[in-house]
């Protein structure tokens, strides 16, 4: 690995304890559950339209709900079995959404799916066919946002993209799913990069990885010696290094404008898990029906990385990691900085479920909130150059027009402000509330 100073973004950032407890635990396929519950809203955009009925027999990989409109995504059965009740269930967001339950029977897959481990390097599909296959396969961003991947690849007319960035940062403390994927499936990821480059018509791609994953960086450096258009860059460990705008600035020194998209500065960013899913979709015809999920926490018996079928109840995943420790105070979907607490252990694993974090009681209790001391630490920590304390006050007062002027929508909800606040003020909570209320105002 090169010895030069590693790149990072220039504004704000914090350094939470990493706690990568499962970094050296290989990915293990989780035993099939007795039943899966598959929400039809696992992506940003319109919910998918259900095309199965109660009592239907389905196979793993079969479409059970089709995308409605351009910004939407297909949903496939992750198991073989019989469709059960179709009803509203609570998911990991804490809200109820329509979901399809399937009673598992055997493990029969759709015939044209290639489940072998054989690496297929040649990309036979045309750019248009690649985008169509990704759309058909229900691939969405797996770094958390769950944005339909085919939409990202459909660059608007008049915009020119010259770089693809693959996000292998995984800056959230505790999470290691992407790290293990890079260590265990690097060749498949590289083919995934080539697929994306072909779809976008670019000849330059950078894989950005934080330098706490030295093994992954070394693997890619060795494999990319014969790939002149693709490089790997070691990045300084700094949260939120994995934010799209921060990553673009760190690697290319380009600044995405306020309210803008990476394509505005000639860049498309895809998460490394998404890139692997794209390899599987395009080369193996495997839709997005399973993903790597980190199960971790300071008291967890066996911090693990499991390959989990979409729709598996969270409780099944926790049992496989040794159960729920007695001192557990909170269970979070995602990491400690941006994740959200789970209210019910029967909620299903979704396409965007990167990890399940069990936090001990002593670490999960909110500390007493004090008045703002105007220390400015939240301003220093904000990677978007905002004034978080001011946004909290505006959101609290319901002054949405002023909050909009102060660029509240530019907040990436990384939680750096709340993390550094010496008065324990719930800054991010109020900013999220303010953003939600502002979006509601826009709706007719």
> Which alpha helices (DSSP H) does 176-308 contain, by range?
177-184, 186-200, 214-223, 244-252, 272-284
Q: Say which DSSP state 33 is in.
A: P
The enclosing H or E element of 132 equals helix 127-136
For residue 5, what pLDDT is reported?
63
Q: Where are the alpha helices (DSSP H) in 253-341?
A: 272-284, 314-320
Token pair 């660029």 is found at 407
Which domains does the chain carry?
127-284 (3.40.50.11540), 377-442 (no CATH)
Is 106:82 a contact under the CB 8 Å cutoff? no
State in Å, rounded, how far the first CA of the chain is from the last one.
54
Are the C-beta atoms of residues 318 and 344 closer than 8 Å to each other? no
| Half-sphere exposure at residue 322, Cβ-oriented, CA atoms within 13 angstroms | 15
Which single residue is written with the structure tokens 């991010």? Answer: 428
Task: Spell out, as residue ranges, where the chain has pLDDT lower than 50.
Answer: 1-4
pLDDT at 370: 97
DSSP string, 163-185: EEEEE----STT--HHHHHHHH-
The pLDDT value recorded for residue 1 is 41
Q: In this predicted structure, what is the pLDDT of residue 3?
A: 42
Instruction: Compute CA distances 187 → 175, 192, 198, 211, 241, whole Å.
Output: 22, 9, 17, 20, 24
């Amino acid at each position: 690995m090169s010895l030069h100073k590693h790149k990072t973004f220039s504004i704000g950032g914090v350094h939470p304890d990493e706690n990568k407890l499962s970094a050296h635990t290989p990915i293990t396929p989780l035993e099939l559950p007795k039943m899966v519950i598959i929400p039809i809203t696992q992506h940003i955009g319109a919910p998918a339209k259900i095309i199965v009925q109660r009592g239907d027999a389905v196979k793993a990989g079969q479409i059970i709900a089709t995308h409605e409109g351009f910004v939407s995504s297909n949903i496939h059965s992750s198991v073989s079995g019989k469709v059960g009740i179709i009803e509203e269930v609570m998911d990991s967001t804490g809200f109820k959404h329509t979901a399809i339950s399937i009673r598992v029977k055997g493990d029969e897959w759709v015939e044209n799916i290639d489940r072998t481990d054989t690496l297929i390097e040649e990309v036979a599909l045309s750019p248009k066919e690649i985008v169509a296959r990704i759309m058909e396969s229900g691939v969405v961003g797996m770094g958390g946002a769950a944005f339909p991947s085919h939409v990202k690849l459909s660059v608007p007319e008049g915009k020119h993209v010259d770089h693809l960035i693959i996000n292998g940062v995984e800056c959230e403390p505790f999470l290691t799913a992407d790290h293990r994927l890079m260590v265990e499936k690097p060749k498949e990821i590289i083919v995934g990069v080539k697929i994306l480059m072909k779809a976008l018509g670019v000849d330059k791609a950078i894989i950005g990885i934080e330098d706490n994953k030295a093994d992954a960086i070394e693997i890619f450096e060795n494999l990319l010696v014969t790939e002149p258009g693709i490089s790997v860059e070691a990045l300084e460990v700094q949260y939120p290094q994995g934010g799209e705008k921060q990553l673009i600035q760190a690697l290319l020194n380009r600044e995405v404008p306020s309210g803008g998209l990476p394509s505005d500065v000639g860049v498309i960013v895809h998460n490394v898990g998404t890139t692997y899913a794209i390899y599987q979709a395009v080369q193996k015809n495997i839709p997005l029906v399973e993903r790597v999920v980190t199960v971790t926490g300071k008291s967890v018996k066996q911090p693990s990385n499991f390959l989990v079928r979409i729709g598996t109840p969270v409780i099944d995943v926790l049992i496989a990691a040794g159960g729920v420790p007695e001192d557990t105070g909170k269970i979070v979907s995602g990491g400690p900085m941006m994740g959200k607490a789970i209210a019910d252990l029967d909620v299903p694993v979704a396409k965007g479920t990167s990890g399940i974090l069990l936090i001990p009681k002593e670490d999960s209790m909110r500390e007493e909130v004090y008045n703002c001391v105007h220390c400015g630490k939240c301003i220093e920590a904000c990677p978007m150059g905002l004034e978080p304390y001011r946004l909290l006050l505006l959101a609290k007062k319901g002054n949405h027009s002023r909050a909009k002027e102060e660029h509240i929508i530019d907040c990436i909800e990384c939680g750096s402000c709340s993390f550094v606040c010496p008065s324990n003020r719930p800054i991010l909570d109020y900013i999220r509330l303010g953003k939600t209320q502002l979006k509601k105002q826009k709706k007719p």
